[in-house]
Structure 1
Amino acid sequence: MAAPSTSHSSSSPSLALEDYSLYSNLSDDELLQLAIERSLSDMQCSPTATPQPPHSHDGIHSGADRKLDHPSHTPHNPPNCSFHDPQAAQTPAHYSSPNPPNEKPPDLKTFDGTVSRFLTGSGKRMVAYRKSDGSVVHIAPEPDEEEEPLFSAIREGNVSKVRALVMCPEVNLMLPSKPGWLAVHQAAWFGQDSCLQMLLTAQPGMINKRTSRGESPLLIAVSRNHLRCVEVLLEEGAEIDMPNSDRETPLYKACEKSNPAIVATLLNHGAAVNTLCIQGWTALQEAVVRNNVEICEMLMMAGAKHNLRNIYGITPLFTAAQTGQLATLRFLLKHGADINTQAADGATALYEAAKNGHQQIVELLLSQNADANKPGKKGLLPIHIATQKGYTKIVTMLIPVTSKTRVRRTGISPLHLAAEYNRDNILVMLINAGFEVNAQLSVERSQLYEDRRSTALYFSVINNNIDAVQTLLANGADPNLDVFRPLMVAARQGCIQTITLLVEHGADINASIPTHPTTFPAVFMFSMKYLPMFKYLLDHGGDAQSCFNCMYGSQPHPALKTTRSDGNVLHSQHLPETNQTKGVQFCEMISAPSISRWAGPIIDILLDYVGDVSLCSRLMEHLDSYSEWSNIKDKAAPPRPLLQLCRMRIVQMVGHWQLKRLPLPGSLISFLQHQERCLDD
């Protein structure tokens, strides 16, 4: 005994999707014809095969789901006897096992094993008998459940046969074919209004009986778009607002199916219009999301309220904006719906439209004076989320109506998001619109990042977005506002182009890190492995003298302690443990295992930027560790050449940026700028 519903044609999702992709453009009738052809081919391949009626569950499914349920075969390959599922091979079959499956199923009373059921790729139901060790005893098609004559006659629409069965005293109309599935449900499902009328005349008490999922005959008829069955049920006194287990009423389901005729019929019979489903949705909200203005008009005339909220605090207008339903949004605004409605999390309809890229919706809302300065999720404004998503045209519409004061209150500028998500075009738009390039994140938002970043410039630098860095610096971005300077980030990433841009726009080469203090410029920690970059920083004012100021001097140094430092600050390398009062010294830094191998060349370069200095005992140990570095010790021995001392004095008096303006020969200018020799990369 089978009740109408849908069943999956394969136990494998990939097979089901494959069938759907092949035949999704076919109508139900065409799919049914393919199913018949396959069934006939299966019958030819197996003498025991019998045609399969459409099996189903009690539920109500969409037409798209039903397309998945029809067995089908590839049009280019004629039907054959094989199954998609290798375990489902039918007779004749060849088994390599010395104990092939029996021809007859074992007696379940004495069988010691497991019985499992599955579907083949063609949709055939199979049953397998296996011993406890997993070996197959018997595989065969599952015996078909014989459908009761009454249910079969209803499905076929055989009115005379139904009349005869109904009149038969042996037929119990209140006896279900499956749990909760009565003959009246069968008639409503298949749209057999004459059979339905006959059944209700014979047994009126079944009119409001529910299926196992709480579906009344009326709700089933509505879900299947059978208008005449709906009318029959209503005329016979069916309870019009009886919901299913999800608290969906027939009116709600009619709106979901976007069927104006059935909606009108239900409303004419007094259906309640403001009943909430289990998610708090009303029939109006369902009609709005289907963008059906005709149904919305009928519901409003019947007393539907447009300000009711679902369990998430969402009104129908919010739903229309969120899903991009322009027609129903206009309708709701015309009828006075609150344009600035907010969900439970504070998001506005405008915010949701901007987030989802609904340009026409945003345009309509703004034309009706929607407030663009109400903060939504996470305290962001619509312009923030539109910037983050990269919706340039929506940002263009939001800029004139967004208050910069309100933006500052949020603790984050749209510029931050444009830089973080590499929205370069929007970044330029925002700058041209007057958004502050040096706006900093609020303390609360900055603390969300381990490196405590605060500027849009930092985001662009860490993204290695050179164009954005150039745009921000050209428009006045200050490279010295972040705790961990953008210059250090660029050095850590080894991007000489970004370093050049930052230094040219005033980046402080000698800045330190408050959380990791050093007695020398912190940027040196990230550039010493790349000597051309290291030299560039020294050429432009890097403090080389501080690298030779050691508190221990020629005395023995304490044992070096190293620690794994924060990856966002020190690039996850073993570095000396920080002394919070005095900071890490250069000789300790250069002794880190990841840097000590370059100690000689690094010291050699530094000596070109200092006068008379003394090498501490630890630096001497490094130079003594490699014989070819002995000449570097000689270079550091006093007295330093007079030419070097004069160069240092001139640079100190004039400054690095003024050297080119001196009325001196080019070769001398090059010498003062330390360009007298080249370094190999």
Structure 2
Amino acid sequence: TNPRRAVGYCSLLLVGLRRTPVHEAAQRGESLQLQQLIESGACVNQVTVDSITPLHAASLQGQVRCVQLLLAAGAQVDARNIDGSTPLCDACASGSIECVKLLLSYGAKVNPPLYTASPLHEACMSGSSECVRLLIDVGANLEAHDCHFGTPLHVACAREHLDCVKVLLNAGANVNAAKLHETALHHAAKVKNVDLIEMLIEFGGNIYARDNRGKKPSDYTWSSSAPAKCLEYYEKTPLTLSQLCRVSLRKATGVRGLEKIAKLNIPPRLIDYLSYN
């Protein structure tokens, strides 16, 4: 689990004196009680010592009805807790697509000015490809950089969420983005996931990239292991001309290039190939 998310959740549980009945009802999904509290004039924006609002609590637990009630009652949609995280970050961490949709419909910023993990990072961390796809559709920054985790692609690879990786790459995420010179392919080699390694290379991952320790992805594999053999194969065997053309064209179309590719006046089979379908 996300250490920061765990700390926030523990704070919500432990700071009993500063929590309100609204926090309690929101976290537990007790929508009837929450509605009664709101109707009696309870403040929906009361914060705990860690600046956790009832909307944070409901979003983190994926309590859709409670999120809806709080938003309708005037809860601050982009409130930040002590980590700087917004309710949208928490909803993405829970993997609740319905909570994410609700928050976005009330104007939640998909790219809040955070120095920590963005909503897209959180969705990749939780492994919710549906949330990842929705966030990208509404303009999430594919290259948002967190000082601890790197880009969303780094997070998805480190957690081995292949579906999320595929969505990010297809949307135009930079396969060779670096965190301390460490690429997503370095992460894939470290977690020893052959399917992930192959996917990244197919999208143009650089097998010769070196991190801040001067190591290539293959340097993080055991000799004769499946990941080592996979990387060795690609080091010895150049990509096909068709694959090189696909990668080059994808680079030329840039971020969210699939929309441009779909409009090209070329046969549908080529469009499918360029779209990795």
Smaller-chain TM-score bracket:
0.7 to 0.9
Choose from 226, 233, 243 the match for 1:425: 226
Pair 1:224–1:368, CA change in 2 (3 A):
closer
- Distance in 2, matches of 1:346 and 1:221, equals 33
Q: State the shift of 1:236 in Å.
A: 2.1
The residue that corresponds to 1:638 in the other structure is none
Normalising to structure 2: TM-score of the pair?
0.73
Count, aligned residues: 225
Is 1:274 paired with 2:75? no
Q: Which amino acid aligns with 2:196?
A: I
Pair 1:429–1:255, CA change in 2 (3 A):
same
Q: Which amino acid aligns with 1:434?
A: E
Structure 2 contact 153–173 (Cα < 8 Å) conserved: yes
Q: State the shift of 1:339 in Å.
A: 1.3
Structure 2 contact 94–126 (Cα < 8 Å) conserved: no
Pair 1:285–1:413, CA change in 2 (3 A):
same
Identity of aligned residues (%): 24
Q: CA RMSD in A?
A: 2.5
The residue that corresponds to 1:539 in the other structure is none
Q: State the shift of 1:212 in Å.
A: 5.3
Report the 3-state secondary structure (helix = DSSP H, G, I; strand = E; otherwise coil) of the residue aligned with 2:187.
helix
* Structure showing the higher helix proportion among its residues: 2
Choose from 193, 199, 202 the match for 1:397: 199
Q: Which amino acid aligns with 1:412?
A: K
Q: State the shift of 1:291 in Å.
A: 1.2
Is 1:355 paired with 2:158? yes
Structure 1 contact 348–374 (Cα < 8 Å) conserved: yes
Pair 1:284–1:383, CA change in 2 (3 A):
same
Q: Which amino acid aligns with 1:338?
A: N
User: CA deviation digits over 1:486-520, x for unaligned, max 9?
Assistant: xxxxxxxxxxxxxxxxxxxxxxxxxxxxxxxxxxx
Q: Which amino acid aligns with 2:42?
A: A
- Distance in 2, matches of 1:241 and 1:393, equals 45
The residue that corresponds to 1:434 in the other structure is 235
The residue that corresponds to 1:248 in the other structure is 52
Structure 2 contact 153–184 (Cα < 8 Å) conserved: yes
- Distance in 2, matches of 1:319 and 1:309, equals 15
Is 1:260 paired with 2:64? yes
- Distance in 2, matches of 1:345 and 1:212, equals 30
Pair 1:389–1:253, CA change in 2 (3 A):
same
Structure 1 contact 404–435 (Cα < 8 Å) conserved: no
Choose from 407, 415, 418 the match for 2:218: 415
Q: In the TM superposition, what are the counterparts of 1:120-131 in structure 2 within 5 Å? A: none
The residue that corresponds to 1:385 in the other structure is 187
Structure 2 contact 182–210 (Cα < 8 Å) conserved: no
Q: State the shift of 1:427 in Å.
A: 2.2
Structure 1 contact 213–245 (Cα < 8 Å) conserved: no
Structure 1 contact 339–349 (Cα < 8 Å) conserved: yes
Structure 2 contact 185–207 (Cα < 8 Å) conserved: no
Structure 2 contact 93–125 (Cα < 8 Å) conserved: no
Q: In the TM superposition, what are the counterparts of 1:169-568 in structure 2 within 5 Å? A: 213-308=17-112, 313-345=116-148, 347-376=150-179, 378-400=180-202, 401-403=204-206, 407=209, 411-418=214-221, 421-422=222-223, 424-434=225-235
The residue that corresponds to 1:444 in the other structure is none
Pair 1:347–1:60, CA change in 2 (3 A):
closer
Structure 2 contact 35–69 (Cα < 8 Å) conserved: yes
Report the 3-state secondary structure (helix = DSSP H, G, I; strand = E; otherwise coil) of the residue aligned with 2:90.
helix
Pair 1:404–1:416, CA change in 2 (3 A):
closer
- Distance in 1, matches of 2:20 and 2:219, equals 55
Task: Give 1 or 2 for the bigger CA radius of gyration.
Answer: 1
User: CA deviation digits over 1:285-321, x for unaligned, max 9?
Assistant: 111111111111111111111112656x210101111
Normalising to structure 1: TM-score of the pair?
0.31
User: CA deviation digits over 1:229-255, x for unaligned, max 9?
Assistant: 222221222212011222111111111
Pair 1:295–1:390, CA change in 2 (3 A):
same
Pair 1:386–1:224, CA change in 2 (3 A):
closer
Query: Unpaired runs of 5+ in structure 1?
Result: 1-58, 63-210, 437-681
Q: State the shift of 1:433 in Å.
A: 1.4
Pair 1:332–1:212, CA change in 2 (3 A):
closer
- Distance in 2, matches of 1:353 and 1:309, equals 21
Q: In the TM superposition, what are the counterparts of 1:32-181 in structure 2 within 5 Å? A: none
Report the 3-state secondary structure (helix = DSSP H, G, I; strand = E; otherwise coil) of the residue aligned with 1:379.
coil
Structure 1 contact 214–245 (Cα < 8 Å) conserved: yes
Q: State the shift of 1:431 in Å.
A: 2.4
Report the 3-state secondary structure (helix = DSSP H, G, I; strand = E; otherwise coil) of the residue aligned with 2:17.
coil
Structure 2 contact 121–151 (Cα < 8 Å) conserved: yes
